[in-house]
Structure 1
Amino acid sequence: MLWLVALFFQAPAYATWPLQDGNGEPLPSLAPMLEKVNPAVVNISTYTTRTVQQNPLLRDPFFRRFFNMPEQQMPEQKRRTQSAGSGVIIDAKNGTVVTNHHVIDGADEITVALEDGRSYTATLVGSDPDVDVAVLKIDGKDLVDIPVADSDPVRVGDFVVAIGNPFGLGQTVTTGIVSALGRTGLGIEGYENFIQTDASINPGNSGGALVNLKGELVGINTAIIAPAGGNVGIGFAIPTNMAQASITQILEHGEVKRGQLGVIIQDLTPELAEAFGIENGQRGALIAEVQENSAADKAGLKSGDVVVAVDGKDILSSAQLRNAVGVRKIGETLKLTIVRDGKTKVI
């Protein structure tokens, strides 16, 4: 049971929180930034109708006859459930709202509520379960959107703010720092490249905004590690660059169509590096197999090649290579920097 304890006291009328320090300097506050950003973060309510499973004995004619139950088939029972999440308006003119796929998955009805109390029935444009991104449309006037930042310059130690609807309480703001970047292998999504933060993220925050101190969107809050069922300081957000790749395709096609290289890859371990004669300490993704007639085969990639960069951006693991390719459209051209026989080559 959750206990809420309220403490009341009567303060003198003149008592106010100081706006300046002892030297008369203004105290730092996130309030001016949040006043611009908060209207762009929305609460999402979903309604789902599910069929309630009946006891198999109730469908057994012998059981029904024994207990003198009516012979006619019992009608299926329906149950309507409600759940809550968060979302972000990224295009006020077109009413485009981004959230997580798992927030709206299976929903019959989606309602978007704004900070000012207005609410709209949303239309699902499309979603990408592998990245856990969904795009909604609402028809509203005087909406406020949030500027979307390039997430690549985000560094460990940067201050960030998480905004969402935890436990259905309503819009809530928490602060913290970027704890780590490029988190993969968590088994949460098909493609993982998470920003890890210690800003409190709880159930209901999913789909909400992770913003920098400029009020720019750098991530979509998605998941937590919660052994006790609540926040323990380990939350994860999808970087905007990764989410934007899916959002663009959803807005264009209603779905995401991913290109493939046509290779089987694995991490470059010290043992494999030694076996292939690769310099000790080199990191990258080892190509274990090239599929016949694939894009990789036609480009001249070979088993034993180690991919160390894609379009000039370093690749440190097989997961990074998979993510780098997974966000590209079919037909795009990539420049892969590889190490082959101890020499660097661009394909």
Structure 2
Amino acid sequence: MMNIQKLAVLVVACAAMNLAAMNITAAQDSLAPSSRDAQRRVAKVYGAGGLKGLEAYQSGFLVSPDGHIATAWSYVLDVDPIVQLDDGRRFESKIVGFEPALELAVLKIDASDLPYFPVPADTSVQWGDPVIAISNLFNIATGDEPASVMQGSVAAVTQLDARRGTFKTPYRGDVLILDLIANNPGAAGGAVVDANGNLVGMLGKELRDTATGVWLNYALPASALRATIGDIIAGRKTTAPVESTPMLPRNDSHNFTTMGVIMVPDVLETTPAYIDEVMHASAADRAGMRPDDLILLVDGQRIESQRSFRRILRTIDRRDNLNLTVQRNSEILNLVLKP
């Protein structure tokens, strides 16, 4: 009797598994018609890189009909990148704004009436849901070919284990763990869509577990990006330099000496604004700045290089506080330097 009961349970379990597999297969088959439509909303992004194994390309996706493109914030954006759309058109773009804590940037190209992804307010996918990742992985689509497509499913919705520094990223929040290989070069910033072609996430940058060496395939939920993308497009949050701000006399403005910092040698036009040394008991020391800190923002203005850092300091009265956003290893910190 017991064997019959066990057999019955086994039959029911197998039937349930087969039904689940059939449902997943059917859902995955339904992805094909929507994938081409989603590809038209994905862009290829070309910028800085090309040396020491640093790829000079990544991915992005349109988030407005007027040419706003969301992408991953990375070294590729150290210059204003070139954007290529699905139809083969190429545009020079401008960086409208970025949010280091989300590793998100928004670009703008001079185009209109473009197909785009509405960014959802809620995360609509859960464990087991089929998804498609669309990106410029390995720079395969070099011309007017559609962006590359990978099919898989959501393996989990969870938070990164950042408490032990396992994954070195400034992002703190839920991620979509994917059962497809999403950490290929060039894939960062690509779109992840559901069975209906709706945007559900943005592929994150290459990320490896420092303890095990295992690469993580993940995406940031689109809902986590929605508010920041909206603020950047609406002009409520911008990191673009304010060109019209007048320079102050050198004795009246902030500078490296008044801050109490020594920068790394400025040998290139785009030398990053890294701190080499912090003077003891200086304003920078009191603010908590440390050697090797990278200056990202000053009073909300993007620091593109050490020279742009110097120019922006010349526009700020030395009697005023400096609101700094810095990157320290994988952390993003907001510091206030008081004169």
Shorter-chain TM-score tier: 0.5 to 0.7
Deviations 1:251-284 (A, max 9, x none): 333348xxxxxxxxxxxxxxxxxxxxxxxxxxxx
The match for 2:152 is 176
Structure 2 partner of 1:158: 129
> Which sections of structure 1, spanning at least 5 residues, go unmatched?
1-24, 51-78, 257-325, 327-347
CA distance in 2, matches of 1:150, 1:245: 8
Question: Which of 74, 91, 95 is 2:64 aligned to?
Answer: 91
Matched, 1:210 2:198: no
Q: What is the aligned counterpart of 1:253 among 236, 240, 244?
A: 236
**Offset of residue 195 of structure 1:** 1.1
Q: Which amino acid aligns with 2:39?
A: N
Matched residue type, 2:176: I
Is the Cα–Cα contact under 8 Å of residues 224 and 236 in structure 1 kept in the other structure? Answer: no
Counterpart AA for 1:91: S
Which has more helix, going by share of residues?
A: 2
Say whether 1:133 aligns with 2:104. Answer: yes
Name the structure 1 match of 2:246: none
Q: Distance in 2 between matches of 1:143 and 1:206?
A: 22
Q: Distance in 2 between matches of 1:233 and 1:212?
A: 23
Moved over 4 A (4+): 224-227
Match of 2:169 in 1: 188
Are residues 42 and 236 of structure 1, via their aligned partners in 2, closer, same or farther at CA, if it must alter by over 3 Å? same
What displacement does 1:181 show?
1.0
Residues 103 and 88 of structure 1: CA distance in aligned 2, closer, same or farther (over 3 Å) = farther
CA–CA distance in structure 2, aligned partners of residues 183 and 82 of structure 1 = 28
SS at match of 2:223: helix
Offset of 1:225 from its aligned partner?
Answer: 4.6
Deviation at 1:243, TM superposition (A): 0.9
Separation of aligned partners in 1, 2:223 and 2:208: 26
Count of residues paired in the alignment: 198
Q: Distance in 2 between matches of 1:134 and 1:239?
A: 15
Describe the SS at the equivalent of 1:223. Answer: coil
What is the TM-score normalised by the length of structure 1? 0.51
TM-score (norm 2): 0.53
Whole-angstrom distance in 2 between the partners of 1:190 and 1:28: 33
CA distance in 2, matches of 1:82, 1:199: 21
- Between the aligned partners of 2:228 and 2:203, the Cα distance in structure 1 is 16
Distance, in Å, in 2 between the alignment partners of 1:189 and 1:167 is: 25
Is the aligned partner of 1:149 residue 2:150? no
CA deviation profile, 1:301-344 (whole Å, cap 9, x unmatched): xxxxxxxxxxxxxxxxxxxxxxxxx9xxxxxxxxxxxxxxxxxx
Q: Percent identity?
A: 29
Mapped to 2, the partners of 1:234 and 1:159 lie a distance apart of 18
Q: CA deviation at 1:139?
A: 1.1
> Quick check: 1:85–1:103 contact (8 Å CA) kept in 2?
no
Q: CA deviation at 1:224?
A: 4.2
Q: Is the 8 A contact 1:200 1:233 kept in 2?
A: no
Letter in 2 for 1:96: H
1:200 pairs with 2:172: no
Q: Distance between the aligned counterparts of 2:138 and 2:50, measured in 1?
A: 21
| SS class of match (1:182) | strand
Residues 244 and 134 (structure 1 numbering): CA distance in 2 closer, same or farther, change over 3 Å? same
Deviations 1:6-40 (CA, angstroms, capped at 9, x unpaired): xxxxxxxxxxxxxxxxxxx9x93533201211110
SS at match of 1:97: strand
Structure with greater proportional strand content:
1
Q: d(CA) in 2 for partners of 1:246 and 1:141?
A: 21
Partner SS state of residue 48, structure 2 = strand
Deviations 1:201-228 (A, max 9, x none): 112110000111110111010134558x
> What secondary structure, in the 3-state scheme, does the structure 1 residue paired with 2:203 have?
strand
SS of 1:253's equivalent? coil
Q: Secondary structure at the match of 2:181?
A: coil
Deviations 1:74-132 (A, max 9, x none): xxxxx9x860000000111x21110011154422x311101111110111101011110
